Amino acid sequence: MVGQEVKRIGVLGGTFDPVHLGHIHLALDALKEMDLDRVIFIPAWLQPFKQDRDTASGRDRLAMIDAAIEGLEGLESSSIELDAEGVSYTYLTMRELRKKYGEDCRIYFITGTDAFLKIETWRNAGELLTSCGYLVGTRPGYRQKELEECMERVSRIYGTEVRNLHNDRFDISSTEVRDRLESGEPCGDLIPEKVERYIRENGLYK
């Protein structure tokens, strides 16, 4: 295991159904701005707030992430939540990562604005918000003032390090990618070419 020398890692959780350029740039911007050793993409087996929705299989979502990050230094994926199956709770994933990387490692959970605005409602929020730092990538379409209030409240109540990244903005969502694919429209401007190819070769999102 290479855990010992790792000091600063970023964790990007999500459904990634499918992974798109907004996710990739968020990870790359966090890596650079925060001088992280790596950013790990962790696809959820089943997201607590999306339990009623069908998704591509976990293996396909992970394979698309791997295709997208191939050759991009500092980006990795982990099947930790897929291997655990069941509903994926981030506080449990954080416990596992803490065990793996040790107490000295600085762990940052990376989110977009929409996810961070809801984070106080996530399971075991108290533990979750004290277990790591948070990096919030601005996502178009959300109110900055609301985000700043939420960041201030979380850092005041939980003593959490929370930073707003100066990320490049990409107005892209997986929902838009799926919608376009379902109606047969091209989406080369939303997802990496290798992901587009995987989707085509595996007949996903028809």
Of the two residues 114 and 152, which places its CB atom closer to ligand ATP in the complex? 114
**Which residues 10-39 are close enough to bind ligand ATP by CB under 6 A?**
14-17, 22-23, 26
User: Minimum distance from CB of 189 to ligand ATP (Å)?
Assistant: 13
Q: For tokens 């290479």, name the residue.
A: 2
Among the candidate windows 100-108, 118-126, 170-178, 184-192, which touches ligand ATP by CB under 6 A? Answer: 170-178
User: Minimum distance from CB of 206 to ligand ATP (Å)?
Assistant: 17
Q: Which of 192, 194, 139 is nearest to 26 (CA)?
A: 139
**Which residues 30-89 are close enough to bind ligand ATP by CB under 6 A?**
none
- Give the number of residues written for the chain: 206
Pairwise CA distance, residues 49 & 36, whole Å: 29
- State phi, psi for 16 to the nearest 5 degrees: 50, 55
User: Minimum distance from CB of 170 to ligand ATP (Å)?
Assistant: 4
Of the two residues 114 and 149, which places its CB atom closer to ligand ATP in the complex? 114
Are 15 and 45 contacting, i.e. CB atoms less than 8 angstroms apart?
A: no
User: Minimum distance from CB of 44 to ligand ATP (Å)?
Assistant: 8
Are 3 and 171 contacting, i.e. CB atoms less than 8 angstroms apart?
A: no
Is 196 among the residues that bind ligand ATP (CB under 6 A)?
Answer: no
If you ran DSSP here, which 8-state letter would residue 100 be given?
A: H
**Which residues 101-120 are close enough to bind ligand ATP by CB under 6 A?**
111-112, 114-115
Of the two residues 99 and 171, which places its CB atom closer to ligand ATP in the complex? 171
Q: Which of 151, 185, 178, 172 is nearest to 24 (CA)?
A: 172
Q: For tokens 């939303």, name the residue.
A: 190
Pairing of strands 38-43, 106-112: unpaired
Per CB under 6 A, the list member of 41, 170, 198, 205 interacting with ligand ATP is 170
Are 56 and 17 contacting, i.e. CB atoms less than 8 angstroms apart?
A: yes
Are 147 and 113 contacting, i.e. CB atoms less than 8 angstroms apart?
A: yes
Of the two residues 99 and 182, which places its CB atom closer to ligand ATP in the complex? 182
User: Minimum distance from CB of 99 to ligand ATP (Å)?
Assistant: 23
Contacts with ligand ATP by CB under 6 A lie at 14-17, 22-23, 26, 111-112, 114-115, 137, 139, 170, 172-175
